[in-house]
Amino acid sequence: MGPVTFKQAVLNRRMLICIFTGLASGMPLYVLVSLVPAWLRSEGVGLKEIGFFALIGLPYTWKFLWSPLLDRFPLSLAGYRPGLRRGWMLGTQILLLAAIAALGFFNAASEIWTIAWLCLIIAFLSATQDIVLDAYRRQLLPDHELGLGSSIHVNAYRIAGLVPGSLSLILADSLPWHQVFIITAAFMLVGIALTLSIGEPAVDKRQPSTLKAAVTEPFKEFFSRQGTRQGLAILLFMLLYKLGDSMATALATPFYLDLGFSKTEIGLIAKHAALWPMIFGGIFGGLLMLRIGINRALWLFGLVQIVSILGFALLANVGEGLWLLALVISFEYLGVGLGTAAFVAYMARTTHPAYAATQLALFTAITAVPRTVASSITGVIVETTGWENFFYLCTALAVPGMVLLLKVAPWNGAKPALSADQH
């Protein structure tokens, strides 16, 4: 393929599809990480229990175990055969709509275990949807569009968080929780509409022909291409790069509540102060990656991300204040938007399109470990150290991932996707 212009890289149907894959992917996750903790806390559930609820996210960590099935076997729905990718997308989205709607019909105080199991089911369905959406996007985008396409997907992913993280919280001040969850679940219709309106991607010639090949060949291909030592270093980097950030934001909503902010204030100020800088960071990061490349973006955006975590420590020290809340959260999530844009693009670049489902599932599962296992103990840490010291710890935990960049993404190790005269 010849040189691609900036306009061609940005204004095309593939980028529009990336918006909708992000919206469909983000909805169920934000139900689990934003809406459910706020619901439980408002119903009197303790921080320790809410912290341990992060373990329901384990399917995001282990999804590579069943991802080969999604690379090999298509899913038919009552005789309707939408294709390998679209079949799994449609099936998971319909079930997610039903499961999210069902949450609000349980009592948070007396039926906590039933809620936990239902949340685990939602996490499993959401992780499965992510597997196939990531694979579809990897097959859809040419290599030169991976950085921007991934950024657009991530931004739409974050925008989806407006529903459970903002709209639903505002509604919860005036509506019963079962109605809130039904309204929230209805937004999964966006994903269903996407699936029904797009075509199935072309089958790669190297697509696995057997289940055994679907399980083994993605791993063989990755380590043969990278080498064993470099491959292991890449996997360790994926584990550590977002560790500090994931832990810092794991109990964000309970943190705001403990500072004395109301659910409406959190919905109107905190969530919006997070969202729009994150969107700007993601878009700016995606466009900048066209210029400087993914490697340099990981360095620059990672440093911003580390510094921004310290803002939470400042907020914990000063206490309640709407303007400070908005300022601190805006800067923190600017760093999140920048860092995530580069990180997702890096993961996509590291895969082979023929094994996209399994390889991306492995990579994203590794990145989910901090959000699930590490974040599950954040409640215990906070109750032991207090909020301010907890955020200092999160800052320190963000450093090792940056050190690994020397090995896996050196500053001068990649070229920009577009030259300056093409911009």
Q: Quick: pLDDT tens for 170-192.
A: 898 889 988 999 999 999 998 89
- CA geometry: angle 118, 337, 274, nearest 5 deg: 70
pLDDT, one tens digit per residue, over 186-222 is: 999 988 998 988 888 766 555 666 667 767 888 888 8
Give the contacts of 297 (CB within 8 A, at least 6 positions apart): 147, 285, 288, 289, 338, 341, 342, 345
Q: Kindly give, in sequence order, each residue whose CB lies less than 8 Å from that of residue 124, ignoring residues fewer than 6 positions away.
A: 59
294-343 per-position pLDDT tens digit: 888 889 888 888 888 888 888 888 877 788 888 877 887 787 777 777 88
What pLDDT score was predicted for residue 270?
66
Share of the chain above pLDDT 70, in %: 90
Question: Which spans in 43-111 are helix H?
Answer: 47-52, 58-62, 67-72, 84-103
Position 227 scores a pLDDT of 86
71 has pLDDT over 90: no
pLDDT in tens, 219-243: 888 888 888 889 899 999 988 888 8
Secondary structure letter of residue 80 according to DSSP: B
Residue 123: its H or E element: helix 112-140
DSSP secondary structure code for residue 203 in this structure: P
Model confidence pLDDT, tens digit, residues 139-175: 887 766 777 787 788 888 878 888 898 889 889 888 9
CB count in 10 Å sphere of residue 197 = 9
Burial of 21 (0-12, 13-18, 19+ CB in 10 A): buried
Q: Which band of pLDDT confidence, cut at 50, 70 and 90, is reported for residue 128?
A: very high
Instruction: Decide: helix, strand or coil at residue 164.
Output: helix
Instruction: Give the pLDDT confidence of 358-409 residue by residue, as tens digits.
Output: 888 788 778 777 766 766 788 888 888 888 899 999 989 989 999 999 988 8
Mean pLDDT calculated for residue range 274-287? 78
Upper half-sphere CA count for residue 333 (Cβ side, 13 Å)? 23
pLDDT of 324: 82
Q: How far is CA 261 from CA 69, 250, 409, in A?
A: 45, 17, 41
DSSP code, position 373 = I
Q: How confident is the model at residue 422 (pLDDT cuts 50, 70, 90)?
A: very low
CATH architecture for segment(s) 6-422 = Up-down Bundle (1.20)
In this predicted model, what pLDDT tens digit does every residue of 9-18 receive, in sequence order?
566 788 888 8
Gap between the Cα atoms of 248 and 394, Å rounded: 6
